[in-house]
Structure 1
Amino acid sequence: MANKMEGKLLDSSTARRIQAVLENPPPVGKYDSLKSALLNAYEATQLQKDQELLNLNGLGDRKPSELLQHMRSLNHDPGTLFRALFLNQLPPDVRRILAQTPDADLDTLAKTADGIMDVEFVAVQRVPSKILPQSR
């Protein structure tokens, strides 16, 4: 299956992304397995979709009904959007750390962010001030 798929339908970059499925296809459900691997390799995460939703900039060349349809396609679960709104309010370095726990609930993320911010605040307080030479 790997050679046939890679040679006829997939470019080498795509084939590398789904190499495991191409090399070891399941005995049944090959199409579904390949489809799932491709979707996982290329589909935007819900967080990325939520960010796109937050960054929309007006109608553009769409009708209002088309914009609404596009917005709905980006998010089927309002809870993830609320999460994205919360994360958007945090400093980038805190967001990067919290990204390591994508399954944590918002209360846990908030407490973790509190801890990160406390550590950063203490670290900033301990930075020695540079003594400038006095002018004569």
Structure 2
Amino acid sequence: MAAEQVESWGVPWEQAFGYVQAVRHGDTIHVAGQFSHDGEGLVAPAPVDEHGRVTDFGTMEEQMRTTYANTAKLLARFGATMEDVVEEVVHVLDMDSAFAAAGPVRRTAFATGTPQVATTILVTPRLAQPGQLVEISCTARLSA
């Protein structure tokens, strides 16, 4: 089945890696891992040491907030909202800072006290951009 619609940001890393940001098949939208960027680079990068390791996770909340905002903008291109998200996977570098930020940020992003989203959160040793703390992929279903 061919994709009915694909969307990208037009950022250099899409061409370099070779992918699109989201694909719609029927009533389902698959959104690739989103992160905190403004189209030019990372927003609120965490400080890193000379080896590229993060030294402070204090920007987790801002990165997470921007990541969800980017996801919402991308979903809007398909006529969808965060309310249409049925599943998400959250990749983080540090679980403690993610848990501290996730509750308030997710309640705002999904506009509800208890987001009705099947969620998995995983710790990973590294993400694509230096200073990147979080990446979120999701699946949304459009209502008929």
TM-score (norm 2): 0.19
Determine which structure has more spread, i.e. the larger CA radius of gyration: 1
The structure richer in strand per residue is: 2
The structure richer in helix per residue is: 1
State the structure with bigger RCO (CA 8 A, min sep 6), 1 or 2. Answer: 2
TM-score (norm 1): 0.20
